[in-house]
Amino acid sequence: MKGVIHDWNDADAITLLINCRNAILPHGKLLIHTELLKASDTANQGNFMDIFMMLYGGRERTEDELSTIINSAGFSVIRVIPESPRGYIVECEAIHDNT
């Protein structure tokens, strides 16, 4: 997915990710291309985009915030790959249910 998660609030983003989880094989992978906010109060382009996205019901997230919603949807974050100055590819793996 590219540029999708930031369009949604946390609850809707989790629903979207759960639908992805239900659609892939048990050990399938999901790649998310997104921007990540810095965890500090440092001014950056992402902070502006976060305010802009809030106007439309979405939001930018830090790596920890994104990991939380990814985990809530049945995925685990394998790695975060810097792709450009602001873009990242988040590699996620479906959590296998052993029950």
CB atoms within 10 A of CB 20: 19
- Out of 6, 27, 33, 96, the active site residue is 6
Beta-ladder partners of 30: 92
Among positive and negative, which fits the CA dihedral 43, 14, 55, 6? positive
Catalytic residue list contains 96: no
Query: In Å, how far from its chain's centre is CA 1?
Result: 9
Distance between CA atoms of residues 27 and 70, nearest Å: 15
Q: Which residues are catalytic?
A: 6
